[in-house]
Amino acid sequence: MTSLPLRWLLLLLVLAATGCARTPVRTAADAPLLAAQSAREAGLAADPDWSLVGRLAVDAGGDGGSGRIEWHQHGDDYTIRLSAPVTRRSWVLARSGGEVVLSGLEAGELRGTDAEAMLEEATGWRIPLASLAAWARGARAAGPARIEFGPGGLPALISQHGWHVDYREWDAGEPPRPRRVFAEREGASVRLVVEAWGEP
C-alpha cells in the first residue's frame, strides 16, 4: 500500500492522456445539442497542445489531500507537475516519445510505456487515463457515454465507464472550457479547479 500523499497524487495523474472519441447514447430530442458537442470536441481534438494551472482536491475512500497542478500537453506527450504545500513535496509525471516517467517517489523513478499500468503497479488501481483526460476538457472519451446538457448547451454531466463527471463551471472563452470539474466513482472523487487555461 502506498503512502497517503502518493495515493492522492496518483489518482490525479489519471489526467495524463488524451482522447476525444464520440460514441454517446443518443436520443432524437438531444440531436442538436449532441451535434454541437461533437463539433466542439472535434475542435478540441484539432488543438492537441494546451496547458492548465489550478488546484486539486482528492478523496480516495476516506483518504485524501489537496495541492496545486501544472499540466502541459504536447500532442500525445505531456508533463504534469503536482505540489503539496503542506508536505512541501512535488511529483512529476512525464510522457515523451512513448516512454512514461513518474518521478518524486521515495523509492525512485518509475519508467515504462503504459502509464495506466504504471499507476496500477504503484497503487493497485486500474484507472482509465485517456477517459479522464478527455473529461477534463469537457469531452466524451472513447466508448458509450451518457451526456446531459446545462442551460447554455454545454455538458453538465458525463457518465462513462462507471464515472460521473459533473461540470460545475465553464469559462467564457472560445471554445468554452471547464473551470470546475468534479468526478466521482465508487467512493473516489477528484475535484479540479482550473485557474487558467493556456498554450503549452
Q: pLDDT tens digit string along 46-105? A: 999 999 999 988 777 666 677 898 989 898 898 888 887 777 778 888 899 889 998 887
pTM over 0.85, yes/no: no
pLDDT band at 112, cuts 50/70/90?
Answer: very high
Through-space distance between the first and last CA atoms of the chain, rounded to whole angstroms: 34
Percentages (nearest 5) of helix, strand, coil residues in the chain? 25, 45, 30
Is residue 25 within 8 Å of 144, Cβ to Cβ? Answer: yes
Report the pLDDT value the prediction gives residue 21, as an integer from 0 to 100: 42
Helix (H, G, I), strand (E, B) or coil at 98: coil
Distance CA 190, CA 99 (A): 26
